[in-house]
Every structure is written in C-alpha cells, then in structure tokens.
C-alpha cells in the first residue's frame, strides 16, 4: 500500500469507529485527540481494525505512533508497503 | 418491615407512585401509540431472520436510537443499552421532572433483565470464526458490553446519573422485579427518583430462538400477527420480542409537592419462588404470590378490575397460570383478565413492565384491551372475566394486577391502584 492508500484506510477505520465526526477537514499534522473525540478504547479500535483487516500487529509500546495521521502513516508504511 | 403495611395506611413518603412512562414496544414507541395499538388490536410480530437459526418470527422495535444517542455510542454499546437509554429519556420527559436542575446523585436506575451478554458473546464468536478463532481479534468492547449492569450503566452514562445503577436478573419476572426494586429503594431513601422497569435485546441472540425451538416452545404460524396466541387451543409456543419500559417512580409526598401527574400507585407487590423445576411453573406457588400481593395491598381478589396475565403461549405454561388464577379469582365477577403478549410476543425482561404500561391507561379510559388471537379457547384456560378479541369498557378501573413469571420458578406480582 502507498502512503496515500494507508491514509485512506485509516480514514475508513476512523469513519467506522467515530461515525459522528466530520473527517474531511482533518489536519494530518495535528494529534487526532485535538481534532476528534477519541479515547483510549477508540485507539484500541484502530489497532484492532488494522489487525483484522491486514493482520498488522502493533505492540503496545508503539501506540504513541498513532497520535496523528502523519505519524500513523509514517509508522505503518514499512509494515503495509507489501500489502 | 415496610412491605406488609397497607399502602393507603402508609405515610406519603412511603407511598410510591408512577409519574412517567417511557417505552418502546414492537407496536409502538411511546405510551399513547402502544395503548392505541392494543385498542386497535394491532400486532407487532413480523417475519425475522437471525444467523444460524434462519427464518422465524419476532417482535421487533423500530424506535429511533439516534434520538438520544450518538452513532458512536450506539456502536460502542449494546442494543439493550440503547433500548434502555431511549425508554429512560422518554420516561423522564414524560414525568415533567426539572431534569436540568435535578440532583442526579439522588436518581437510581433499576433495570430488570432476563439475560444479558448472549448477543454480544455470539457476535464476537462469529467475528473470530472469520479469523480461525484467533482470540486476539476478540473485541476490547466485549467486557463493558457484557457486564451484567450494562443496560443500566449505559443509561447512567447517557443521562449523567450518578446515583446507584444496576440490573435485576430475574428471568421473565424481571420487569416487575425492576419496579419493585425501585420502590424499595425509594422507601429506604436510597434515591429520590427511581428509573425502574425492564429491557430486552433477546431477539438478537440466536441462542434464545434455538433453545426455545429445541424445547418445542417456539411459536410458528403462517400469519405472523396470529403467532402469539395465549389461551388458544392451537397455541404452539413463544414469539420472542425485544423492547423496554422504564418508569419514573417517586414518593407520593415528592410527586404531590411538585404537582406531578400521577399514573398510578404501587399498592402491593410480591415475589416468591417455586423451587420445583427449571422450566415448568408451579401454580400453587404462583397463587401464593398473587395472594401475598393482594394481602399486602389489603385487597380482596374481586377488587382487582384488570388482571394482566403472564401467559406466553406455551401449552403447559398458560394452563398452569390459569389454574393458579382459577384458585384465586375463580369466583370473581368483577375482574377482567387479559394478555398483552398476544400482540407483541414475549419481551422477556421488559415484558412485565410493558404489559403493565399497556393496561395503566385504563385508569383514564376504563377500557380493558383484549387478548387477541383466541379463536378456540382452550378449556384448560377458561376463567371468568377473560376479555377475548374485543375490548371491554367499564365505568371505572381502580386496581390493576400484573403477573410476571420466569424460568427457575421466579414469580412476581405487582398491583397498581388509581390515585
């Protein structure tokens, strides 16, 4: 997957787990939590969906990489480039 | 001891009254619509399909969950939670309570449930089956969804209620049990407002259909609206339904002080146990439960104007309840007897609360809605005062007795009087 495709996939997951949010204006550089009402259970949903959809495993010590869209895509790129 | 005293002899701060009614039933999403559906003989049973089990019939609710919940909260929570949130908000709105200025640490939530967690567990097993039963794909939402207090807890979260909240697991006696628990907590000053009754999400678990089917106790009929037929000779089982009904209960002194409209007073109640069988009811114990409620209310059987039966449409259950009622009401000329499951099916944990709500309007309009679908009355179910297929109007209704019984021999009776 390309970085753009990974981003689309994260948007799709966010749309599922936070269906009341408008994701069109999401700033990739800003933390998700500054823009969306996400709590720790929601971040676990992101981890779970990546596991279910792509068998991507994200260890707990790496959760900090999911802070923003930019950091998430950067972190996932090597894990998903061959998918 | 509080309960054995006659309600009319109690001080006003020990008398418990109904001040708000919120509900969703398969044939109505508010009290007025539900009542009208019963008077119009409109069923809420429809064709239904569920995974593994396939095509069947069920009572399905179509309330708008988004009226009180975000899409995210609906996704994160349970169907029983959504049913409860809807019914609780509707009850509070109906009560006229000044909710914004109410001390919500003094509100208690007491929700009767037949079962909880089956739906969510089945869903997760279905999901991990797609991953070769890899449990790392089991949702982190499973535990908060399946803890036994979930439906009550979702109401607390949604409405910012910080008083006590819990569910009362009481099989199909749970709707009455929730009301009784709420009344007891008000009398003990544990809360000032009780949101009490029952909820059910049972149509979303294939297991309940499969289990009733294996027990030869699941209803089938070519006409869905005719499938739930308590007391009829050709009845062949239960129609499973979802639904919820929660009341705002208050002490009479508080309700009177704020000028609340009062829809009835809990004048008597009783719960007891058969201790004889997992499934089969015991008419002797059921009759004892009814008599205990009558005694506590200080009433003779013939003073009950409407008796709302529990009968679910099974061969043995209906005739056993009728045997119990015959022993108590056999000589009564005043008491009219009906059954609401004939319209909506068996709403499990919500059944007792919903069936009471369906009858409460009779205090105002004097009408007893009938048991529908009785084409050929089973002689084993014959009782004086059965209201069959057509509503009956009477000059005045003062007392309604509501039966709700469940598996493992749990019996509950609630008597509500006109105020």
ipTM associated with this complex = 0.95
State the smallest CA–CA distance between residue B81 and chain A in angstroms: 18
As a whole number, mean pLDDT of residues B400-415 equals 98
For residue B261, the tally of other CB atoms under 10 A from its CB is 13
Is B72 in contact with A18 (Cβ distance < 8 A)?
Answer: yes
Distance CA B249, CA B179 (A): 8
DSSP chain A: --HHHHHHHHHHHHHHH-TTS--TT--TTSBHHHHS---HHHHHHHHHHHHHHH-----GGGGGGGSBHHHHHHHHHHHHTT-
User: In this predicted model, what pLDDT tens digit does every residue of B271-326 receive, in sequence order?
Assistant: 999 999 999 999 999 999 999 999 999 999 999 999 999 999 999 999 999 999 99
Residue B69: closest CA among chain A residues belongs to which residue?
Answer: A20
**What are the sequence ranges of the domains in chain B?**
16-257, 265-417
A41 Cβ under 8 Å from any chain B Cβ:
yes
CB < 8 Å to B136, chain A: 51
Chain B residues at the A interface, defined by Cβ less than 8 Å, are: 70-72, 75-76, 127, 131, 136-137, 139-141
Go through B194-222 and write b for each residue having 16 or more CB atoms within 10 A of its CB, e for each that does not.
bbbbbbbbbbbbbbbbbebbeeebbbebe
* Contact yes or no for B200/B243 (Cβ under 8 A): yes
The chain B residue lying nearest A38, using CA atoms, is: B72
| SS3 (DSSP) at B109 | strand
- Residue among B260, B265, B266 at smallest CA distance from B95: B260
- Tell me how far apart the alpha carbons of residues B206 and B51 are, in angstroms, rounded to a whole number: 7
Q: What percent of chain A has pLDDT over 90?
A: 100
Per-residue pLDDT, averaged over B179-205, amounts to 98
Asked whether the beta carbons of residue B72 and residue A19 sit closer than 8 angstroms, the reply is: yes
Q: What mean pLDDT is predicted for residues A50-78?
A: 97
Q: Determine, for residues B137 and A52 on separate chains, whether the beta-carbon distance falls below 8 Å.
A: yes
CB contact under 8 A, B136 and A51: yes
Buried b (16+ CB within 10 A) or exposed e, A43-73: bbbbbbbbbbeeeeebeeeeeeebbbbebbb
Specify the pLDDT at position A75: 98
pLDDT in tens, B43-69: 999 999 999 999 999 999 999 999 999
B131 → chain A, closest CA residue = A52
**CA–CA distance, B107 with B54 (Å, rounded to integer):** 42
Inter-chain contact B76–A41, Cβ cutoff 8 Å?
yes
What's the CA gap between B416 and B403, in Å, rounded? 12
Instruction: List, for residues B82-138, the tens digit of each pLDDT value.
Output: 999 999 999 999 999 999 999 999 999 999 999 999 999 999 999 999 999 999 999
**Is residue B164 predicted with pLDDT exceeding 50?**
yes
Query: What distance in Å separates residue B137's CA from the closest CA in chain A?
Result: 6
Interface test with A, best of B66, B68, B69, B75 (most A CBs within 10 A): B75
- Reply yes or no on whether the pLDDT at B4 is more than 60: no
pLDDT at position B6, please?
Answer: 75
Q: Which residues make Cβ contacts (< 8 Å) with residue A4, sequence separation at least 6?
A: none
For the B16-257 domain, the top CATH level (class) is alpha beta
CA dist., res. A23 & res. A27, Å (int)? 9
Residues forming a β-bridge with B246: B22, B197
Q: How many residues does chain B have?
A: 419
Nearest to B146 by CA among B116, B174, B175: B116
In angstroms, the Cα distances linking B295 to A15, B5, B274, B292, B369 are 58, 9, 19, 5, 26
Looking up tokens 């999403």, which residue turns up? B29
Does the pLDDT at position A60 exceed 90?
yes
Per-residue pLDDT, B9: 86
Optimal mutation site among B74, B77, B134, B140, interface A, most CBs of chain A within 10 A: B140
pTM of the model: 0.97
* CA atoms lying within 13 Å on the CB side of residue B221: 22
pLDDT band, very low/low/confident/very high, at B5 (cuts 50, 70, 90):
low
Q: Reply yes or no on whether the pLDDT at B1 is more than 70.
A: no
Q: How far is B70 from chain A (nearest CA, A)?
A: 7
Domain of A65? Answer: 3-19+28-80
**Domain tally for chain A?**
1
**What does the DSSP 8-state code read for residue B370?**
P
Cβ-defined contact of A20 to B75 (cutoff 8 Å): no
Asked if A19 has any chain B CB less than 8 Å from its own CB, the reply is yes
**pLDDT, tens only, B319-350:** 999 999 999 999 999 999 999 999 999 999 99
Per-residue model confidence (pLDDT) at position B8 = 75
Helix (H) or strand (E) holding B155: helix B150-159
Q: Which CATH number fits domain B265-417: 3.40.47.10, 1.10.3720.10, 3.40.50.300, 1.10.101.10?
A: 3.40.47.10
Size of interface A-B (CB pairs under 8 A): 24
Residues of B in contact with A52 (CB under 8 A): 127, 131, 137
Instruction: Sheet with B306-308: list strands edge to edge.
Output: B165-169, B107-113, B193-200, B243-251, B16-24, B264-273, B410-417, B399-406, B306-308, B336-338
- Alpha helices, DSSP H, located in B336-401: 341-344, 351-360, 362-365
What is the per-residue pLDDT across B182-194, written as a single tens digit (0 to 9) for each?
A: 999 999 999 999 9
CA of B114 vs chain A CAs: smallest distance (Å): 28
Share of chain B above pLDDT 90, in %: 98
Copy the structure tokens of residue B413: 């009776």
Return d(Cα A8, Cα A18) in angstroms, integer.
15
Record: contact B139-A51, CB cut-off 8 A: no
CATH number of residue A61's parent domain: 1.10.1200.10
Identify the pLDDT of residue B347.
98
The SS3 of residue B88 is: helix
Please indicate whether, in this complex, the C-beta atoms of A52 and B140 are within 8 angstroms of each other. Answer: no
Contact B139 A41 (CB under 8 A): no
pLDDT band, residue B2 (cuts 50/70/90): very low
């Amino acid at each position: 997957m390309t970085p753009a495709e990974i981003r689309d996939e994260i948007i799709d997951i966010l749309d599922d787990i936070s269906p009341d949010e408008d994701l069109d204006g999401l700033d990739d550089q800003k933390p998700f939590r500054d823009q969306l009402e996400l709590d720790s259970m929601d971040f676990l949903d992101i981890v779970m969906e990546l596991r279910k959809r792509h068998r991507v495993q994200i260890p707990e010590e790496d959760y900090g990489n999911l802070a923003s869209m930019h950091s998430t895509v950067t972190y996932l790129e090597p894990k998903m480039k061959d998918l | 001891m509080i309960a054995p005293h006659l309600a009319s002899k109690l001080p006003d701060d020990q008398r418990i009254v109904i001040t708000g009614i919120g509900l969703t039933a398969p044939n109505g999403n508010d009290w007025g619509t539900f009542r009208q559906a019963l008077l119009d003989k409109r069923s809420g049973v429809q064709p239904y399909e569920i995974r593994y089990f396939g095509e069947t019939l069920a009572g399905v609710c179509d309330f708008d969950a988004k009226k009180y919940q975000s899409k995210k909260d609906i996704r994160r929570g349970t169907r029983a939670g959504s049913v409860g949130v809807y019914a609780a908000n509707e009850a509070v709105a109906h009560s006229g309570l000044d909710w914004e200025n109410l001390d919500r640490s003094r509100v208690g939530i007491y929700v009767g449930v037949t079962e909880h967690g089956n739906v969510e567990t089945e869903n997760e097993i279905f999901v991990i089956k797609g991953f070769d039963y890899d449990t790392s794909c089991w949702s982190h939402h499973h535990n908060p969804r399946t803890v036994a207090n979930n439906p009550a807890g979702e109401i607390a979260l949604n409405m910012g209620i910080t008083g006590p909240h819990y569910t009362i697991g009481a099989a199909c006696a749970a709707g009455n049990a929730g009301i009784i628990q709420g009344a007891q907590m008000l009398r003990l000053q544990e809360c000032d407002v009780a949101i009490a009754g029952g909820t059910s999400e049972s149509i979303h678990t294939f297991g309940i259909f499969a289990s009733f089917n294996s027990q030869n106790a699941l209803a089938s009929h070519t006409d869905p609206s005719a499938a739930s037929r308590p007391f009829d000779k050709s009845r062949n089982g239960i129609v499973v339904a979802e639904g919820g009904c929660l009341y705002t209960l208050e002490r009479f002194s508080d309700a009177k002080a704020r000028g609340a409209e009062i829809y009835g007073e809990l004048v008597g109640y009783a719960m007891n146990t058969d201790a004889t069988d997992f499934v089969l009811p015991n008419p002797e114990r059921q009759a004892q439960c009814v008599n205990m409620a009558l005694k506590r209310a200080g009433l003779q059987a013939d003073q009950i104007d409407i008796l709302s039966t529990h009968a679910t449409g099974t061969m043995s259950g209906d005739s056993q309840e009728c045997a119990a009622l015959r022993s108590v009401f056999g000589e009564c000329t005043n008491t009219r007897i009906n059954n609401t499951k004939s319209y909506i099916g068996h709403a499990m944990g919500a059944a007792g609360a919903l069936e009471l709500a369906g009858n409460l309007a009779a205090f105002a309009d004097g009408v007893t809605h009938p048991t529908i679908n009785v084409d050929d009355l089973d002689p084993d179910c014959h009782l004086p005062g059965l209201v069959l297929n057509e509503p009956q109007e009477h000059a005045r209704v003062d007392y309604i007795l509501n039966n709700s019984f469940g598996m493992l021999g749990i019996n509950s009776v609630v008597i509500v009087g006109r105020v």
